[in-house]
Structures are given as C-alpha cells and as structure tokens.
C-alpha cells in the first residue's frame, strides 16, 4: 500500500477525542483532538525529537508531544493561550502544593463573597434571572430582575431548591460596591464590535456581568495579587479564575454557548460564583490527576529555548510570542516536526474572542499584537482584507519551513474556501523545498446544525496537510501540470465530483489531487471559491 494512503487510512480510522480532562480545564476555541495529535506525533517524529507549534492555542500539540516523550516549543501571540498552557503544565510541577494553593484560594474567596448571596431568610441564591428591556447595541438595555433560584435552608442544612419571583431584585451588599472599579473598571473596557462573533456596537465588558459578579471577580483578582507565591503558582490561580468567567457572565440558563459574547435577547441568567468555583476546583483536581497518571516528568521553560535534554529529561519551552517574533529568537536552531493549527481566514479572530479574558484578568496586549495577528476581519476599526491575511499566512508558512531540519515534517491544519489561498500555499511549499505527502480529512466530533441544513456548503471539519522538507531536491524538481487549459482543469474537477462521498471528503480529495498533480496553482484562473466547484 502507498505510504501516504496508509497514513491517511490510519488517521481517519481514529474517532477524534476532544473531551479530555485537559480539554475541560478551559473553554478555548478550535481545540484539536488529543488522540489525533498524539498519533501524528508518533507517525512523524521519534522519542527525544523536538516538536514545535508556533500557534499553540490551548496547547494540544504541547501536551501531545510531552505525552509521547518529545520536547516541545509552544508559542502564541495570544496571552490567554500562554496562560492556559503554562498554567496547565504547572499543575504537573510540585502538584501537592499547587492544589493546596488552589484549595486555599477557593476557601478564602468563599469567605469573602458568600454572604453576598444570602436572602433575608438565610437561603442561598444559586441563580438570578433577568428579563432584558432594550437592545444590546451601545448598552441601551436594562436588566429587570424576574426570578431567583434558591437553595432552601432547613435548620443548619440546605435541602431542596425553589424558585421565587422578584419584583425589586436583591440589594447589592455594601462590600460589593468598593470592588466595582478596582482592580478592573469594567465600564472602561471597550470591546471591538464584530457582528460575526456577536459583539454589538458600543459593547463594554460591564454589559456582560452583573455588578455582584464583577465585584466577585475583582475580589478574586485581589486575592491572587496578595498571594506571596512563585510565578507558576500565580499563573495556576489566574488560569483557575479565567476558567470560571464563561460561567459567571450573563448568558442563557444553561451557559452552554461556546460563543463568549452571545446572549439571548430576552432572558439572561447570572450564577453564584461560590458554586462555580466549587465545580471548577473538581475539574482541576481531575486534570491534575490525569497529568500525574499520564504525562512523564519534564522541565518547564518560560523564557528560554534551551532545549538541551539532560539525563533524559524532557523540556517544554512556552512563550507568548507572535510567529514573527519567534523566528528572530529561534533563528539558529532547527526542529524535527512542526505541527500547528494557524488561524483560518475570518473564522476565529482569537484576540477579539479573548478580549473578555484579556480585560478581566489584566493580560497585556499592545497595538503590535493586534497588527501582527493573522486574521481576516471586517470588525469596525480593524478591517483586514484577504490580501493582508494571505501575506501574513504565507510568511508564517515560510517560517515553519525554515525552522525544520532537512527530512523533518510540517503538519499544517487548514481550512479555507478561497482557492487563491490554497494555490498560494502550494506555490510557497514548492519554493521552500517541501515535498507534499498527503491531505487527511478530519471531520468534527459533532456535526453542526449548519452542516445538517446546508450539507453542500459547509466545511464541517479541518484538513491536515503533511509535507516533508527535502533540501533542494523538491525545489529543483520540475512539476508537469496535469492540465494547461480550462477543459483539462474542468475534467480534473469533475473526477472529484464523481466520487461517491459527501461534500467534506470531496473537498479533501480536491485539495489532495490539486497538490499532488500541481494544478491547484492554476485553479484560481477558473474558480474563486471551493463551494463553486463542488456540487
């Protein structure tokens, strides 16, 4: 069997697994399945090799590399990403102390804020519900208290729940008021308006939380600042707090949306942080137990690329850097495998998505970060067209090729409907002496509603492109295009359309054949969008 086909069949036979103990630490976006990542690492590198992911996101490649006994470099422009990865890995370092510190933090937090969530009869307010009067645009709305879900006191215990209707709401405790503007003044935190991710015009961070929960989050921040602990432990506490924010914002009654800024138009729910902290603590316990049982010991490097392995010790170098900054600091070294998942066109503007966390946790982002982020967006004040996006994407692809050893592999997750972008990636791979190996389709773990309603227009998954760096051999090899005119291009495309498979897998075959036979570089002369080709 052809080696490329064997690899593809092996990966596609694996059911993607997203929901792991590590994945439940934080609701970061576009998380890749850990079991697929681990298999790719085993197939395309050896124990003791160095793996690199310059778009590490929530760290799946980092975790997979360490689990498979490879040292790893992980960088990302997003400060939330580096917080998640460093904080998660820190749970594996001096574990008993870390969990005891989190436990103390949760206990101290509960002592500070729990009294704010009792009613006059001593019942605990678990949830408060509101109707919305007005529109979210420019904050032109009011929250009208409607219900409270209570845990009912029975002597010294709590037994059962009941829902009560509110007319005037529950008054704000005086202790809350002094925490409404410090350490973070939510009324001064402006969000970039972007209708694609449900951020309306004039949105402020204060529009997404009740005053009571703003005070609770600020109280937790002050507790973290007062902890006299090492930087790793402080980062673990920041990670813990960050994981609670999606459950503390105003949302639907289930808090189930992965969109951090989406809110129902008519009814919102706010949750008691004491209960949220308790549930999150249990998740962190499970995550740490999983790490201790599965991940070998390693040395965590936060500001260094010193990857020399001493006495078999693995190393993980995790830094917050744009890929443009990364290449200047890593210019003289080479890695065995680059496995990465760059931003896809306009699908997820990560810094905009992360703004809630960046503001609430006082994470640092400067103007250069916004300019360097690889994204296509029409957000007001931040318009970045496809030309600028593609230029940054190709620069990143080139950097990934440059840091590879000869014979090393580049595995590039990608998904895009714009044919011009695919052709540009193909041409850049030729320029950088990358030998195309295969395309592996990876469907999403769960089908989206959009896929069901528009099955012939929705890319419900990602493509995994595999290249090998072959020095000058591939660069100098002449490619004879399958087609030189429109009739031959159309014939090649028709063969893909004749395959008896669904839209997503025909999409993968189109890219596979186009890269393998070379005609992908000519395709923009005849088509603009993949969806115009596949029927």
Query: For residue range 377-394, what is the model confidence (pLDDT) as tens digits?
Result: 888 888 888 999 999 999
Among 77-91, 197-211, 488-502, the range scoring the smallest mean pLDDT is 488-502
Which of these, 368, 301, 339, 346, lies nearest to 77 by C-alpha position?
368
pLDDT band at 476 (very low <50, low <70, confident <90, very high): very low
For the residues 439-449, what does the mean pLDDT come to?
A: 71
Own/partner long-range contacts of 153-158 (Cβ < 8 Å, ≥24 apart): 153/121, 153/122, 153/123, 153/124, 158/123, 158/124
User: Exposed (0-12), middle (13-18) or buried (19+): which is 198, by Cβ within 10 Å?
Assistant: middle
Among 7-11, 281-285, 430-434, 441-445, the range scoring the smallest mean pLDDT is 441-445
Q: Which of 120-129, 419-428, 447-456, 496-505 has the highest mean pLDDT?
A: 419-428
- How many angstroms from the chain centroid is the CA of residue 209? 22
Q: What pLDDT is recorded for position 449?
A: 42
pLDDT tens figures, 399-428: 999 999 999 999 999 999 999 999 999 999
Q: What pLDDT is recorded for position 308?
A: 60
Number of Cβ within a 10 Å radius of residue 231: 10
Collect all residues with Cβ–Cβ distance below 8 Å to 458 and sequence separation of at least 6.
448, 450, 451, 503
* pLDDT of 42 above 70: yes
Residue with tokens 């678990």: 126
Report CA-CA distances (Å) from 289 to 299, 486, 490, 525: 18, 59, 55, 55
For the residues 339-352, what does the mean pLDDT come to?
A: 92
Collect all residues with Cβ–Cβ distance below 8 Å to 131 and sequence separation of at least 6.
143, 144, 146, 266, 267
Ordered domains of the chain (ranges, CATH): 3-93+300-532 (3.40.50.150), 95-289 (no CATH)
* pLDDT of 353 above 80: yes
Q: What pLDDT is recorded for position 276?
A: 96
- DSSP letter string, 217-275: HHHHHHHHHH----HHHHHHHHHHHHHHHHHHSSB-TT---S-TT---SSEEEEE-HHH
Distance CA 469, CA 449 (A): 39
Q: What pLDDT is recorded for position 474?
A: 46
pLDDT band at 480 (very low <50, low <70, confident <90, very high): low
For the residues 274-302, what does the mean pLDDT come to?
A: 94
* pLDDT of 465 above 60: yes
pLDDT band at 228 (very low <50, low <70, confident <90, very high): low
> Residue 329 corresponds to which tokens in the numbers above?
């600091």
What is the SS3 assignment for 162? strand
* Per-position b or e across 445-469, b if 16+ CB within 10 A of its CB: eeeeeebeeeeeebbbbbbbbbbbb
Distance CA 297, CA 66 (A): 9
Among 103-112, 309-318, 505-514, 524-533, the range scoring the smallest mean pLDDT is 309-318
- How many angstroms from the chain centroid is the CA of residue 109? 28
Distance CA 323, CA 398 (A): 11
What is the rounded average pLDDT for all residues in the chain?
89
Q: What pLDDT is recorded for position 459?
A: 67
pLDDT tens figures, 82-97: 999 999 999 998 899 9
Q: What pLDDT is recorded for position 154?
A: 73
Q: What pLDDT is recorded for position 479?
A: 53
Among 174-178, 308-312, 485-489, 509-513, the range scoring the smallest mean pLDDT is 308-312
User: Exposed (0-12), middle (13-18) or buried (19+): which is 292, by Cβ within 10 Å?
Assistant: exposed
Among 16-25, 63-72, 84-93, the range scoring the smallest mean pLDDT is 16-25
Q: What pLDDT is recorded for position 488?
A: 77
For the residues 140-155, what does the mean pLDDT come to?
A: 89
* pLDDT of 70 above 80: yes
Q: How much of the chain, in percent, has pLDDT values that exceed 70? A: 91
Q: Which of 218-232, 236-250, 519-533 has the highest mean pLDDT?
A: 236-250
Contact yes or no for 11/35 (Cβ under 8 A)? no
- Give me the phi and psi of 330, to 5 degrees please: -120, 30
Q: What pLDDT is recorded for position 446?
A: 52
């Amino acid at each position: 069997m052809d080696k490329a086909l064997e690899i593809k069949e092996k990966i596609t036979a694996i059911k993607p697994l997203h929901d792991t103990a590590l994945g439940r630490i934080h609701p970061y976006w576009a998380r890749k399945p850990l079991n697929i990542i681990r298999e790719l690492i085993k197939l395309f590198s050896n124990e003791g090799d160095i793996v690199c992911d310059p778009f590490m996101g929530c760290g799946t490649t980092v975790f997979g590399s360490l689990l498979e006994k490879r040292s790893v470099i992980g960088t990302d422009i997003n400060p939330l990403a580096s917080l998640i990865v460093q904080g998660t890995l820190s749970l594996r370092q001096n574990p008993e102390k870390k969990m005891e510190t989190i436990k103390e933090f949760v206990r101290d937090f509960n002592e500070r804020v729990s009294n704010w969530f009792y009613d006059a009869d001593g019942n605990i307010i678990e949830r408060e519900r509101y109707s919305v009067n007005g529109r979210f645009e420019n904050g032109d709305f009011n929250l009208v208290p409607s219900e409270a879900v209570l845990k009912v006191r029975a002597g010294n215990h709590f037994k059962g729940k009941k829902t009560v209707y509110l007319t005037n709401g529950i008054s704000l405790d005086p202790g809350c008021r002094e925490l409404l503007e410090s350490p973070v003044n939510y009324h001064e935190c402006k969000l970039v308006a972007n209708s694609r991710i449900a951020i309306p015009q004039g949105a402020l961070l204060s529009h997404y939380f009740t005053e009571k929960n703003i005070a609770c989050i600020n109280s937790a921040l002050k507790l973290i600042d007062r902890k006299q602990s090492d930087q790793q432990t402080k980062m673990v506490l920041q990670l813990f707090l960050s994981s609670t924010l999606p459950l503390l914002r105003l949302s639907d009654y289930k808090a189930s949306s992965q969109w951090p800024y989406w809110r129902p138009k008519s009814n919102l729910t706010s949750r008691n942080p004491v209960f949220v902290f308790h549930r999150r603590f249990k998740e962190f316990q499970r995550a740490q137990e999983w790490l201790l049982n599965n991940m070998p010991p390693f040395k965590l490097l936060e500001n260094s690329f010193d990857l020399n392995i001493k006495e078999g010790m693995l190393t993980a170098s995790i830094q917050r850097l744009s890929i443009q900054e990364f290449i200047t600091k890593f210019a003289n070294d080479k890695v065995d495998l680059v496995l990465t998942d760059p931003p896809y066109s306009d699908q997820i503007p990560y810094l905009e998505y992360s703004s809630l966390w960046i503001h609430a946790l006082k994470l640092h982002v400067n103007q250069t970060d916004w300019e360097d982020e690889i994204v296509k967006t029409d957000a007001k004040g931040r318009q970045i067209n496809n030309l600028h996006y593609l230029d940054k994407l190709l620069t990143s692809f080139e950097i990934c090729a440059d840091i590879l050893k000869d014979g090393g592999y580049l595995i590039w997750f990608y998904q895009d409907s714009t044919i011009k972008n695919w052709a540009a990636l193909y041409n850049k791979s030729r320029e950088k002496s990358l030998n195309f190996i295969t395309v592996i389709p990876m469907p999403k773990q769960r089908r989206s509603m959009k896929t069901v309603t528009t099955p012939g227009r929705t890319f419900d998954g990602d493509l995994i492109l595999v290249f090998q760096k072959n020095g000058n051999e591939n660069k100098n090899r002449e490619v004879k295009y399958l087609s030189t005119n429109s009739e031959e291009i159309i014939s090649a495309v028709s063969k893909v359309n004749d395959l008896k498979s669904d839209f997503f897998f025909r999409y993968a075959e189109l890219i596979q054949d186009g890269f393998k036979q070379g005609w992908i570089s000519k395709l923009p002369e005849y088509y603009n969008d993949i969806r115009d080709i596949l029927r």
